[in-house]
Amino acid sequence: MALRILAVLAVLTLVLTSWVGTAEAQRKPPKTMSQKIAEKAKEYADAGRTDWTYAAYNWYTGSDAYKCNIFVADVVKAVGGTVPHRWWGMSGPIGAGEWGNPNSTLLTEAPCWSYRSSPSEGYVIGDGRHVGIVTGSRETTSAMKTELVSNDWGFRSFGSGSRSSMKAYWKYIC
């Protein structure tokens, strides 16, 4: 008899635990595309990925080329998004110059990208020479010469990478 009671209690515990876990999961809102973009960029940086370093080979650029724009495109693609290309189907993703241009027709005419006047998590941030992804409060993740870095680029007080040098913030809206 005692074993039956224990068995019933065990089954009830499993059922209730499963039900509570399911209810909690259902209460969590789905992640936004911006959150997915930021998380994927951080995931790549935290994993020490070197695919986008200067020396790394890339189909679009070869090796010995800066690939900050390729990093952004690969992150967005990895979470199911798209970025404009320089020439439809013929060349690589748009460069840092386009990402840093608030009037870029390649972005303003793209149905999934919207210009924003201030940064937020998951936005692409550009100054016309470099591009990265906002991954936290006053934090950007981007491809540099030898590694992916998460730092204060785009939020610094002065100089290169300062907030005043940023020209554009782009939000993926699809």
End-to-end CA distance of the chain: 59
- CB count in 10 Å sphere of residue 32: 13
Taking alpha carbons only, the member of 105, 113, 46 closest to residue 76 is 113
Tokens 């870029």 correspond to 104
What is the pLDDT, as a whole number, of residue 39? 98
The contacts of residue 49 (CB under 8 Å, 6+ apart) are 148
Torsion on CA atoms 22, 25, 29, 33, rounded to nearest 10: -120
pLDDT tens for 94-133 read 999 999 999 999 999 999 999 999 999 999 999 999 999 9
Which of the pair, 68 or 9, is modelled with greater confidence?
68
Beta-carbon contacts of 22 under 8 Å, excluding residues fewer than 6 positions away, are none
Asked if 132 and 147 touch (Cβ cutoff 8 Å), the reply is: no
**Where in the chain are the domains?**
1-30, 31-172
Contacts of 94 (CB under 8 A, 6+ apart): 69, 83, 84, 85, 86, 104, 106, 107
Q: How far apart are CA 108 and CA 150, in angstroms?
A: 27
Kindly report the average pLDDT of the chain as a whole number: 88
Q: Any idea which fold 31-172 has?
A: endopeptidase fold (from Nostoc punctiforme) (3.90.1720)
Kindly tell me if the per-residue pLDDT of 63 is higher than 70: yes
Confidence of residue 137 (pLDDT cuts 50, 70, 90): very high
Tens of pLDDT, residue by residue over 159-174, are: 888 999 999 999 999 9
